[in-house]
Chains A and B, each alone.
Chain A
Amino acid sequence: MDRELTMELLVTYDVDTTTPDGARRLRRVAKVCEAYGLRVQKSVFEIVCSDVDWMIMKKRLLDVIDGDQDSIRVYQMNAGALGRAQHLGRSPEAPHGAPLIY
Chain B
Amino acid sequence: MTELLRTLFVSTPGTSLHLEGDTIRIHHPERPGRHIQPLIRIDQLVVWRGVDVSDELMLRCLADDRGITWLSRNGRFLGRAGGAQLGNPLLRLEQVRAYDDAARRLTIAKSVVAGKLQNYRQLLLRIARDADGARQSDIRAIAERHAEALIAVASCGSLTELLGIEGNAARAYFEGIPLLAKGVPPGRSRRPPENPFNCVLSFCYTMLKVSVIGALEHRGLDPYIGYLHGVRPGKPSLALDLMEELRPLLVDRLVLTLFNRRRITAAHTRSDPAGGVALTDEGRAVVLTEWSQARERAWRHSGLNRDVPAALLPIVQTRLFARHLRGDEPAYTPWIAS
Residues of A within 8 A of B (CB): 1-5, 31, 34-38, 48-50, 53, 97, 99-102
Contacts and interface: CB of A to CB of B under 8 A. Distances in A.
Interface residues of B, number: 32
A5 B3 contact: yes
Contacts of B2: 3
Contact of A2 (B3, B23, B42, B285): B3
A102 B12 CA distance: 6
Contact of B23 (A5, A34, A97): A34
A99 B40 contact: no
Contact of B42 (A100, A101, A102): A100
Interface of B: 1-4, 6-12, 15, 21-23, 26, 28, 35-42, 285, 288-289, 291-293, 296
A100 B11 contact: no
A102 B26 contact: yes
Contacts of B9: 99-102
B198 to A, nearest CB: 22
Contacts of A102: 8-12, 15, 26, 28, 35
Given A99-B6, A99-B293, A100-B6, 13 more contacts: A1-B1, A5-B4, A5-B41, A35-B39, A36-B40, A37-B38, A49-B40, A99-B9, A100-B292, A101-B285, A101-B288, A101-B289, A102-B11
Contacts of B41: 5, 48
Most chain B beta-carbon neighbours within 10 Å: one of A35, A53, A101: A101
Contact of B288 (A5, A49, A99): A99
A94 B29 CA distance: 23
The residue among B15, B21, B41, B296 with the most chain A CB atoms within 10 A of its own CB is B41
A51 B21 CA distance: 21
A72 B8 CA distance: 30
A97 B296 contact: yes
Contact of A35 (B6, B12, B38, B296): B38
B288 A3 contact: no
A4 B42 contact: no
Given A97-B296, A100-B9, A36 B37 contact: no
Contacts of A4: 3-4
B21 A35 contact: yes
Given A97-B296, A100-B42, A101-B288, A34 B1 contact: no
B149 to A, nearest CB: 36
A102 B13 CA distance: 10
Contacts of B3: 2-5, 50
B72 to A, nearest CB: 18
Nearest to B1: A2
A101 to B, nearest CB: 5
Contacts of B21: 31, 34-35
